[in-house]
Amino acid sequence: MAAYGPFEGRGLNQIAVAGKSNVGKSTLINRLCRRNKLARTSSTPGKTRLINIFLLNDAFHLVDLPGYGFARVDKKEKARWGQMMQDYFASAEELKHVLCLVDIRHEPTEDDRTMNRFLRESGIPFTVVATKADKISRGARSKYLAPICRALLVQPWEIICFSGEDGTGREELLNRIGEVLGLQEI
Ligand SMILES: Nc1nc2c(ncn2[C@@H]2O[C@H](COP(=O)(O)OP(=O)(O)O)[C@@H](O)[C@H]2O)c(=O)[nH]1
Ligand SMILES: [Mg+2]
């Protein structure tokens, strides 16, 4: 039994969305699904405590993983989070790719690095997505991407700059997902 509970449509490929609380996971999912309030975006960090799954065009599932690095949660809550993630990654046979979200303006945290190390060690393919790209000018992007590249050991051209605010990077992200899932069209 999957740790994230039974749901309809098992057997479809999954793309998981990971990142710290408030980085923009739910917003990104909403943008990709062209819906509002579907993934319960919130301005309260740490609100997504459970794994939510969304179906995109009957083609694959987008998995909204609970955010990490929420300072106000206690030890017990952190342990619960860790167990939930461990169970998910251990049992999600349909998982094909992880979108690792980081805020374009901030250097990745220790938790971001830990997730990065875990994915590399587990051989799970991932794409780094720099969110809230609307918050900086286009010309400043490479300056902001440099520390992210250093921390997560990726090249700048491998990162997708994304904005849920103005739609930046939506097509690029859908293309990447199509590529990794071998879909002709999403
Ligand atoms: N300006 C801007 N704000 C964003 C973007 N993505 C998310 N936000 C805001 O950041 C906050 C947290 O977003 P949410 O999607 O709930 O983050 P989650 O905790 O990772 O699911 C909300 O107030 C969003 O409106 C973005 O691309 N640009
Ligand atoms: Mg959320």
Whether the pLDDT of residue 77 is over 90: the answer is no
- The answer to pTM > 0.85 is yes
Backbone angles phi, psi at 12, to 5 degrees: -80, 150
Looking at the DSSP bridge assignments, the partners of residue 54 are: 62
4-59: per-residue pLDDT in tens?
444 444 678 889 999 998 999 989 988 888 755 555 554 444 444 556 666 666 67
Q: Alpha-carbon distance 130 to 113, whole Å?
A: 14
Inside any domain, residue 8? no
Distance between alpha carbon 149 and the CA centroid of its chain, in Å?
Answer: 17
Tell which atom from ligand 1 comes closest to the C-alpha of 131. 27
One-character DSSP codes across 129-185: EEE-GGGS-GGGHHHHHHHHHHHHT--GGGPEE--TTT-TTHHHHHHHHHHHHT-S-
**Which ligand has an atom closest to residue 18 CA?**
1
Rounded distance between C-alpha atoms, residue 20 and residue 154, angstroms: 19
18, 64 Cβ separation under 8 angstroms: no
pLDDT digits 0-9 by tens, 94-110? 899 999 999 999 999 99
CA gap 172, 124 in Å, rounded: 20
The helix-helix angle for 110-122 and 141-152 (nearest 10°) equals: 60
pLDDT at 28: 93
Residue 156 confidence (pLDDT): 97
For residue 186, give both structure tokens: 């999403």
Ligand 1 atom at shortest distance from the alpha carbon of 168 = 27
- Does residue 9 lie in a domain region? no
Residue 81: inside a domain: yes
**Percentage, residues of the chain above pLDDT 70:** 78
If one counts the domains in the chain, the total is 1
Q: Which amino acid is at 116?
A: N
> What is the reported pLDDT for 52?
66
- 118-142 burial, b at 16+ Cβ within 10 Å, e below that, comes to bbeeeeeebbbbbbbbeeeeeeebe
Tokens for 159, please give them.
């990162």
Q: Is residue 124 part of a domain?
A: yes
76: left (phi over 0), alpha (psi -120 to 50) or beta: alpha
Mean pLDDT score across all residues of the chain: 83
Residue whose CA lies nearest to ligand 1 atom number 28: 132
Stronger pLDDT, 168 or 68, i.e. the higher one: 168
Q: What CATH number should be reported for the domain holding residue 35?
A: 3.40.50.300
According to the model, what pLDDT value does residue 2 have? 40
Confidence check: pLDDT of 78 > 70: yes
Candidates 20, 27, 103: which one to mutate for ligand 1, based on the most atoms within 8 Å of Cβ?
27
Report the atom number in ligand 1 closest to the C-alpha of 162: 27
Ligand 2 mean position, distance from CA 154 (Å): 25
Q: Look at residue 63 and give its three-state secondary structure.
A: strand
Pocket test for ligand 1, best of 23, 30, 41, 106 (most atoms within 8 A of CB): 41
In a domain, 6, yes or no: no
Report the C-alpha dihedral over residues 80, 82, 84, 88, rounded to 10 degrees. Answer: 180
- Per residue in 128-156, pLDDT (tens digit) is 999 999 999 999 999 999 999 999 999 99
Residue 8 has what pLDDT? 46
Q: Whose CA is nearest to atom 23 of ligand 1?
A: 43
Assess if residue 4 is contained within a domain.
Answer: no
Residues within a 6 A CB radius of ligand 1: 19, 21-27, 41-43, 48, 67, 131-132, 134-135, 163-165
Determine the structural domain holding residue 155 and report its residue range.
14-181
